[in-house]
Structure 1
Amino acid sequence: RISSLALVCCSLRSKPLEQYTNEELYARFRFGNADIKYIADLVRPELQRRTRRSHSLSVEEQVLIALRFYASGSFYQVVGDSIGVDKSTVSKVVKALSVTLASLVNQFVCFPRDDQISQTKRKFLLLGSMPNTIGVIEWEYINRKGRHSINIQLVGDADLLITNCVVKWPGSVHNARILRENGIILGGSAYPLLPWLMTPFLAPNTPEQAHFNTAHSKTRCAIERLNGVLKRRFACLNYLRVEPQGVCNIILACIVLHNIATKRNVPLCDEVNDAPAEPAENEDIPPTFSQNERVTDHAVRDAIVRNYF
């Protein structure tokens, strides 16, 4: 099966970084010329060894292969046909680059530093009128071959940067605990109410509690937009056909690339996804968390309502 893009895409040997405009690169690889070179330089120390050993693909070529897979979510064979390499090469390159990018997650995914916290809180306040907020939290699911799902917990900021992530394969225990001082994180009603993790009132009894819930919901829209942008930018996240650990590395790689794209103001270029459509399925049941809330947990939320709403 040949991808529809194969008719207009030349092989990697035709040097797409020189051939395509930035707009064409965005459409095919989700990044422009300077961004692709930046990513290549990031992974060069690790991938250069492999390149010299195999005497085949340059680091830039490996980056382009992996980016094409992340962007399209197509079968390896389709990706290979569209850019002029074989299926086994795509598989090896995607695995190697995903591992390398995943190893950089702590470099690109982190909570705001002390000197950034005030600005982060101010942006959230402008977004939804919720005070003292440094992040919004939500889980997401990535389906993989066999219809299993990988649990992903993301914390994001008002600029749609991912500031914390937990990626778990099937059978792992989902962890909602993120220790953080100097601010609060907003979570949905399935999360436990904690002094640093604010959830909405399940049944607001006063106008002030209702106003709190409204501000909470408006502010948490940031994490919903973040999830939407992440899956639009990297269509591979809609369905993956590799083993759980490989899926986790691909997800982490896309998280790193998302933050790179966000920080570098890379435009989000929509494109018809040439990956095969997946059948509809029932929604996964979200992970459950302990609801052993303490009086002090309610006291923090009540104090926010009393002082701000």
Structure 2
Amino acid sequence: MDSSSSDSDDSDLQVLAQLSDWDDDEGDCGEIAFVELSKSFLRTDFMASLSDAEFTFRFRMNKESVESLLNEIMPFVKVKSRRNNGIPPLHQLLLALRFYALGAMLKSVAEFVGVSQSSACRIVADISTVLARLYSKYINLHARTTLDFYNIAQFPRVCGVIGCTHVPIQCPSSTMGEEYRNGKGYYSFHVQAVCDADLKLLNVVSQWPGSAHQSTIFDNSVLRGILKKMIYYHKIVTDKLNLLLYFIPAQCDDGVLGNCWLLGDNAYPNRPYLLTPVYNPSTAQEVRYNEAHIQTRRAIGRAFAVWKRRFPVISLTMRLSLDNIQAVIIATAVLYNICINHNIEDVPPEVELPDENEIAATAENVQSSENDLRNRQHLIANFF
């Protein structure tokens, strides 16, 4: 054998050493499974090949935050392969981030990162589940921005604003499809979230179908149980305090809402811990209350818009299993808060997004009992 032939063999071996695995494990991605021919993909080092700005645009997070997140999830990321060169955790994380950024068919995302479609399906499910487990670390209730809320429209003691939005999905099945059809006629998950004045998510509920009403979601949520316990405890305490403190915006300890409220629209029932606008206001005080309420509550609409713009996958129709869709919603919520923590600039979406008004939740007025309205009436009479 001549030297040129030997050099060619060595070159082929070097190329093969850089190829991704041919893992053909099938994941529950909700798409039609096709048998793929064995083929190889060139895996790119995006950390080295992309500039900081290009990296952030492609993956919605900067390199520093990705490295920090990778170190955090590394113990929980699996490397599955029947061959010697499994997909490393970094490429798995980047593949999931790329999917969240595009919301496209998994085939195109797989080719961009350099894996097979079946591997991409499994990786999105695995990484989304791992990221969703970080929920309690990055998404939690607090009352640190009551003063920031007060500065918006002088509405006192607001610790968060609550609302719902629709995340479009494909029809899950013929047997349960109508359950997921929302009032606008398409299939979706009806996602409830609470945010603070910095647009940071404090609570996310993602398991309800599109037909569920906002009041139903809230009344059956863990959040309501937490707020009921907190308002009962602090009602006992505040009865013993000077009434002047009742209307002073208060900074509370981390994790304790204390003597504070959530604000929601009229799709929610008015509660001692959740204030809604006055339906058909009849006095100047009620008008001022409603105006301050609406201006302050706009934060949740902005939070939804930024969340969907950063991770367009939750604006576009997802073609995954229902369990995987829920994991993706929570995973992107966690990543959204991480981006705020790292002060990552809001980058424009790489794909065209639908009009936010087309996927917004429809509010229907919910009647509240006289007892539940007493707290709101007292606030209007004494503050506005």
Report the TM-score range of the alignment, normalised by the length of the smaller protein. Answer: 0.7 to 0.9
| Distance in 1 between residues matched to 2:133 and 2:275, nearest whole Å | 31
Q: Does 1:151 align with 2:181?
A: no
Q: TM-score, normalised by structure 2?
A: 0.70
Query: 1:295 offset after TM fit, Å?
Result: 2.6
Secondary structure of 1:140 counterpart? strand
Query: 1:288 offset after TM fit, Å?
Result: 6.6
Q: Does 1:141 align with 2:166?
A: yes
Alignment RMSD (CA, Å): 2.5
Partner of 2:116: 86
Contact residue 141 and residue 150 of structure 1 kept, 8 A: yes
Q: TM-score, normalised by structure 1?
A: 0.86
User: Which residues of 2 match residues 32-43 of structure 1 at below 5 A?
Assistant: 32-43=62-73
Contact residue 167 and residue 248 of structure 1 kept, 8 A: yes
| Distance in 1 between residues matched to 2:188 and 2:60, nearest whole Å | 25
Partner of 1:6: none
Residue 72 of structure 1 aligns with an amino acid whose one-letter code is L
Contact residue 25 and residue 32 of structure 1 kept, 8 A: yes
Partner of 1:252: 330
Residue 226 of structure 1 aligns with an amino acid whose one-letter code is A
Residue 373 of structure 2 aligns with an amino acid whose one-letter code is H
Q: Does 1:216 align with 2:287?
A: no
Query: 1:90 offset after TM fit, Å?
Result: 1.4
Identity of aligned residues (%): 28
Partner of 2:25: none
Q: Does 1:299 align with 2:374?
A: yes
Residue 218 of structure 2 aligns with an amino acid whose one-letter code is A
Label 1:51 to 1:134 Cα distance change in 2 as closer, same or farther (>3 A): same
Partner of 1:23: 53
User: Which residues of 2 match residues 38-117 of structure 1 at below 5 A?
Assistant: 38-47=68-77, 49-50=78-79, 55-112=85-142, 117=143
Residue 259 of structure 1 aligns with an amino acid whose one-letter code is N
Residue 95 of structure 1 aligns with an amino acid whose one-letter code is A
| Distance in 1 between residues matched to 2:158 and 2:133, nearest whole Å | 28
Q: Does 1:120 align with 2:139?
A: no
Residue 131 of structure 1 aligns with an amino acid whose one-letter code is P
Gaps in structure 1 of 5+ consecutive residues? 1-10
* Deviation string, structure 1 residues 101-136 (Cα, Å, up to 9, x no partner): 111111211101xxxx3x321011012221110010
Number of equivalent positions: 290
Label 1:140 to 1:280 Cα distance change in 2 as closer, same or farther (>3 A): closer
| Distance in 2 between residues matched to 1:100 and 1:228, nearest whole Å | 25
Residue 132 of structure 1 aligns with an amino acid whose one-letter code is R
Q: Does 1:228 align with 2:276?
A: no
Secondary structure of 2:277 counterpart? coil
Contact residue 12 and residue 61 of structure 1 kept, 8 A: no
Contact residue 22 and residue 33 of structure 1 kept, 8 A: yes
Structure of larger gyration radius = 2
Gaps in structure 2 of 5+ consecutive residues? 1-40, 172-185, 231-257
* Deviation string, structure 1 residues 147-174 (Cα, Å, up to 9, x no partner): 4211111000000111011112438784
| Distance in 1 between residues matched to 2:42 and 2:98, nearest whole Å | 11
Label 1:75 to 1:52 Cα distance change in 2 as closer, same or farther (>3 A): closer
| Distance in 1 between residues matched to 2:57 and 2:158, nearest whole Å | 35
* Deviation string, structure 1 residues 216-255 (Cα, Å, up to 9, x no partner): 1101110000000011001111220112111101101001
Label 1:12 to 1:294 Cα distance change in 2 as closer, same or farther (>3 A): farther
Q: Does 1:308 align with 2:368?
A: no
Partner of 1:186: 263
Partner of 2:343: 265
Contact residue 169 and residue 244 of structure 1 kept, 8 A: no
Deviates more, 1:49-58 or 1:250-259: 49-58
| Distance in 2 between residues matched to 1:263 and 1:40, nearest whole Å | 16
